[in-house]
Amino acid sequence: MKENIWCLENVNLYHILCPHKLKGYSKGHFQNYKSGDFIYFPGDTSKGIFMISKGKVKIVSYNKNGDEVVKAILGKGEIFGEKAILGSNERADYAMACTEPTLLCPMDLPSMYELMRNNKKFGLSIYKLIGLRIKKMERRFESLLFHDVRTRLCEFIKDLAEEKGVKRGDMICVTHFYTQKDFADLIGTKRETVTRLFNELKQEEIIDYSRKEIQIYCLEKL
Amino acid sequence: MKENIWCLENVNLYHILCPHKLKGYSKGHFQNYKSGDFIYFPGDTSKGIFMISKGKVKIVSYNKNGDEVVKAILGKGEIFGEKAILGSNERADYAMACTEPTLLCPMDLPSMYELMRNNKKFGLSIYKLIGLRIKKMERRFESLLFHDVRTRLCEFIKDLAEEKGVKRGDMICVTHFYTQKDFADLIGTKRETVTRLFNELKQEEIIDYSRKEIQIYCLEKL
DNA sequence: GAGCAAATGTGATGTGGCTTACATTTTAAG
DNA sequence: CTTAAAATGTAAGCCACATCACATTTGCTC
């Protein structure tokens, strides 16, 4: 009974959690949000988790000056609010829809637990999902601890490329929806520094970029 | 069926995991380590988790210069290697006993999963444990992102005080086993900076300290 | 297509904390 | 008690980034 679930690169919970196949567990319908709508606030009771069926969701917090700090941007098939499973009964961040429309598939906790107990495979998928989140987190942490800003930005772009890069000729194009402020938040620096680095990388002909796209000429040099 | 497990501050798995009460699940015996013994290495197959029954365990890694980097120091009743539960089939760090003797209660994965499925309370305890680890991690991350070194050190000392501080007169004493290098690793800075800050805090009559003890005169100013 | 807010670009200036390079003290080992 | 190794102390110099202060560009709204 060797269970090497870790070797799979992605858990696709979409087809498991999708409400069509889960009548009786999920509420059987999607929630629809407009761009800018908050899905939950800090302090809200954690009643369950969400899977993104369509659109993008930002997980954010606000610093003491009231500026928005982006902690993650998630897309279709991705899950958020999963700390509820781990016994966190209050949400700690804001979750905000940032596309229109944003469709979410909510799933309440008791159903989750029941499913996890009854469906071994599902349970392991959830563990794996959480494990991956932790790994990602640890990776960010170590990066912050050991690497300078430029290295961090390069790693981030490489990750983006791997995740959603498209080959076009001998370059890789990544379409994204981050502002430079978002990049800065995500790698732990300031917007101005990101601007400077983007231009530095452009100068060195490693990448080129516009608002919503990055073209990578030379992945190795990143 | 409201399950507010999160409100409990600590999960005490000790009395649940303790092998005396778990014949059939655990191997029914402790593992004994000497100071400096490695419990596992990076790349080792994750066969299960460990609970510390007696002594201290360091989770460490090594940077490219071969210097030891301390990632955590754990004591009695604490658990490590728990990422195994989340599907990580290889250990990513070194675990090293740093007291003599160090007694560990090992528990293999299949038994863990079985227990988690059959014993609801146990399952939730494990979730909560993992949840707390994540919270701790996120806290460290945010601290690193937003606070300067002095603030981070103060937070760390306050945590120590809360966790194991003892009132003596109108000061709080914390006996610990960290070197200044350990402090530095754990808060993400260099040893020299820690030394400077310790002396700064001493000068300002907020704390006093010797090798293995910190006396806190004024918790509020930390 | 005028007007405005958000996003991006770029210089000048400041500084926290890393680096380097030793001195001193404490602990462990023989 | 001696000696070596580990831990701690201190100080000068430097540099990656933050901060501040605007300029410019882009994209949306009316």
Q: What is the model's pLDDT at position B26?
A: 45
Query: Do A110 and B141 lie within an 8 Å CB cutoff?
Result: no
Q: What is the model's pLDDT at position A214?
A: 96
HEC-encoded secondary structure of chain A: CCCCHHHCCCCCCHHHHCHHHCECCECCCCEEECCCCEEECCCCECCEEEEEEECCEEEEEECCCCCEEEEEEECCCCEECHHHHHCCCECCCEEEECCCCEEEEEEEHHHHHHHHHHCHHHHHHHHHHHHHHHHHHHHHHHHHHHCCHHHHHHHHHHHHHHHHEEEECCEEEEECCCCHHHHHHHHCCCHHHHHHHHHHHHHCCCEEEECCEEEECCHHHC
Q: What is the model's pLDDT at position B182?
A: 93
Pick out chain B residues at pLDDT < 50.
1-11, 19-20, 23-27
The 10s digit of each residue's pLDDT in A1-55 is 222 333 333 445 566 555 445 544 444 568 888 888 899 999 999 999 998 888 8
Q: What is the model's pLDDT at position B42?
A: 93
Cβ-Cβ pairs closer than 8 A, A with B, add up to 78
Q: What is the model's pLDDT at position B24?
A: 47
Question: Which helix H or strand E contains B135, and what residues bound it?
Answer: helix B120-146
Is some CB atom of chain A closer than 8 A to the CB atom of B186?
Answer: no
Phi-psi region of A49 (alpha: psi -120 to 50; beta: other; left: phi over 0): beta
Residue B107's DSSP bridge partners are: B49
**B110 neighbourhood in chain A, CB within 8 Å:** 1
Chain B residues 117-136 with CB within 8 Å of chain A: 117, 123-124, 127-128, 130-131, 133-135
Query: Do B87 and A146 lie within an 8 Å CB cutoff?
Result: no
Pick out chain A residues at pLDDT < 70.
1-29, 65
Q: What is the model's pLDDT at position A29?
A: 67
| B115, closest residue in chain A (CA to CA) | A117
**A137 neighbourhood in chain B, CB within 8 Å:** 134, 137-138, 141
Is some CB atom of chain A closer than 8 A to the CB atom of B210?
Answer: no
How far apart CA A4 and CA A25 sit, in angstroms, is 27
Looking up tokens 């100068």, which residue turns up?
Answer: A203
Query: Do B144 and A4 lie within an 8 Å CB cutoff?
Result: no
How far apart CA A138 and CA A148 sit, in angstroms, is 16
Q: What is the model's pLDDT at position A16?
A: 59
**Best mutation site among A9, A127, A148 for testing chain B: the one with the most B CBs within 10 Å?**
A127
Structure tokens at B67: 């210097």
pTM: 0.85
Yes or no: say if B81 and B91 are a contact pair by the CB < 8 Å rule.
yes
Count CA within 13 A, CB hemisphere, residue A117.
16
Structure tokens at B144: 């690193």
Strands lying side by side in the sheet with A171-175: A165-168, A171-175, A213-216, A207-210
CA distances in angstroms from B105 to A29, A161, B10, listed in the order given: 46, 43, 19
Is omega for the bond preceding B19 within 30 degrees of 0, making it cis?
no
